[in-house]
Amino acid sequence: MSSALTDLFLHPIVQAPMAGGVSVPQLAAAVSEAGGLGFLAAGYKTADGMYQEIKQLRGLTGRPFGVNLFMPQPEHADPAAVTVYANQLAGEAAWYETELGDPDSGRDDGYDAKLAVLLDNPVAVVSFHFGVPSQDVLDSLRRAGTLTLVTATTAEEALAVQRAGAAAVIVQGIEAGGHQGTHRDNPETDGTGVGLLSLVAQVRETVQIPIVAAGGIMRGSQIAAALAAGANAAQLGTAFLATPESGANAVHKQALTNPLFVRTELTRAFSGRPARGLANRFMREHGPYAPAAYPEIHHLTSPLRKAAAKAGDAQGMALWAGQGHRMARDLPAGQLVEILNAEIAAAKTALSATDEIPEEGAAR
């Protein structure tokens, strides 16, 4: 099914916007140049920092690309719970010889300023995580010539995305690495998400807008399955995290296939919001006690994560990864797009061949 979204790329492959310095311009450019849709992550960037990355990316490719924003979060964190968690992390600060961050330092992430930049300097696509923008915001971006995507983790959230006027919905399964894009952070629903293929099928029966499937996808055959379930394209994050163009820390890249890390878990330990990463010591020791407080916990643990990365200590880092992390391939991003597309074609050919096999007893 052709749409304004699918007209932007040659292959139904979207590189997920991975915040924290992973989705750098070089990665987005390589994906877009190969016929996919590259993305920048502006969630933790200032408005000027985002603008500079957009400018740099435009110098690397003339192909379409996207920018991702985090929705501002309501102030609901319990200061006392944050203080208790900070006390628990005092030992970590001493171990890594650093100070804990100020939990109140970054609640205003410059969302309005970033929108102003994107309206003055439109890009092909803008996506949103952690909620649905207002209809006015979506309409303004549409008038500027920008397509809008919003993440949803349930069919109900996808319907809200459609009603708000977004051009497409990113359907995120429970397998996805990094932060779950739930619209409301409810601790009672932690870990209760739906698997990607089932969720895509549910959403396809609920909305009429295009669907981008996200969550644990590492191979072209998985993309083909998502397309068969009703998606128009697939978004891959962990698959691109291991590429040389990715800005991920080398320790993070190596951990994806390190036999020491055999599974992933959803945790609030690093940010105060559910996010999937490789299960390590920090998760085990602190995850059960981390309060629902985003972005307060994110800013509180930021110096710890940076110190652990500087020390090369994977046990203290936020090793965001989807459930398919062991299938990561250390390949240039452009080559990975080409291989994924070939795998999609092979999977479709195999499926067609299966459909053509006559049933037992049928006329030949």
Which secondary-structure segment (H or E) carries 171? strand 168-172
How much is the pLDDT for 2? 58
Predicted confidence at residue 284, as pLDDT, reads 97
> Which tokens is 159 given?
């319907």
Q: Note the pLDDT of residue 191.
A: 87
DSSP string for 243-256: STT--S-HHHHHHT
Q: Which residues contact 237 (CB under 8 A, 6 or more apart)?
A: 15, 16, 18, 176, 177, 178, 214, 322
Residues 6+ away with beta carbon under 8 Å from 67:
17, 39, 40, 42, 50, 54, 118, 123, 125, 126, 127
Tell me how far apart the alpha carbons of residues 42 and 327 are, in angstroms, rounded to a whole number. 27
Q: Which tokens sit at 84?
A: 């208790």
What is the residue-wise DSSP string for 11-41?
Answer: SSEEE---TTTTS-HHHHHHHHHTTSBEEEE
Residue the block writes with tokens 């969550």: 215
Q: What is the pLDDT along the chain (364 residues), one digit of tens a residue?
A: 558 999 999 999 999 999 999 999 999 999 999 999 999 999 999 999 999 999 999 999 999 999 999 999 887 789 999 999 999 999 999 999 999 999 988 666 799 999 999 999 999 999 999 999 999 999 999 999 999 999 999 999 999 999 999 999 999 999 999 999 999 999 988 888 999 999 999 999 999 999 999 999 999 999 999 999 999 999 999 999 999 999 999 999 999 999 999 999 999 999 999 999 999 999 999 999 999 999 999 999 999 999 999 999 999 999 999 999 999 999 999 999 999 999 999 999 987 776 665 655 554 4
What pLDDT does 126 receive?
A: 98
Characterize the bridge pairing of strands 233-236 and 13-15.
parallel
Name 278's bridge partners.
264
Give residue 128's pLDDT.
Answer: 98
Coil vs helix vs strand at 288:
helix
Identify the CA nearest to 292 among candidates 153, 185, 176, 136. 185
CA distance 130 to 118: 19
Q: Using the structure block, give the residue that is written with the tokens 């649905």.
A: 132
Dihedral sign, Cα of residue 238, residue 242, residue 247, residue 249: positive
Give pLDDT, residue 364: 40
| CA–CA dist 87, 302 (Å, integer) | 15
Q: How far is CA 297 from the centre of its chain?
A: 19
How far is residue 24's CA from residue 31's CA, in Å, rounded to a whole number?
11
CB 125 within 8 A of CB 37: yes
Whole-number pLDDT of residue 363? 47
Residue with tokens 């790329």: 9
